[in-house]
Amino acid sequence: MIALFAVFFYYIRLMKDLNRLKEVLVSKKVKQSELASALGKNVNTVSKWSTNKRQPSVEDLDKIAIFLKVDISELLKPTEF
């Protein structure tokens, strides 16, 4: 049982927020539904990206950056060393 908890907490620690999509959408005053429509994606997909439950592909990140008129680096959290 202890081993199961250890694995669970290790998994939780790995689940970091990797993108800043939600913050950028708010700053640009763009709704998730608008982004989904522009990319031809389901709103649920964009919602999962915004909450970091899933991550967009590199190709989708590029399309998002173009649509939002931001550098792709603004969509990503800085790496901690």
pLDDT at 70 over 90: yes
Q: Which two tokens stand for residue 19?
A: 């993108």
In this structure, the number of other CB atoms found within 10 A of the CB of residue 38 comes to 15
Q: Tell me the β-bridge partners of 70.
A: none
pLDDT at 67 over 80: yes
Q: Residue 78 has what pLDDT?
A: 78
Q: What CATH number corresponds to the domain at position 56?
A: 1.10.260.40
Model confidence, pTM: 0.77
1 belongs to a structural domain: no
**Pick from 59, 56, 63: which is nearest to 37 by CA?**
63
pLDDT at 42 over 60: yes
58 belongs to a structural domain: yes
pLDDT tens track for 20-30 = 999 999 999 99
Domain count, the chain: 1
Which domain does 31 fall in, by range? 17-75
3 belongs to a structural domain: no
Q: What is the mean pLDDT of residues 27-53?
A: 97
CA dist 18 and 20 (Å) reads 7
Q: Which two tokens stand for residue 29?
A: 């005053």
CA dist 50 and 22 (Å) reads 5
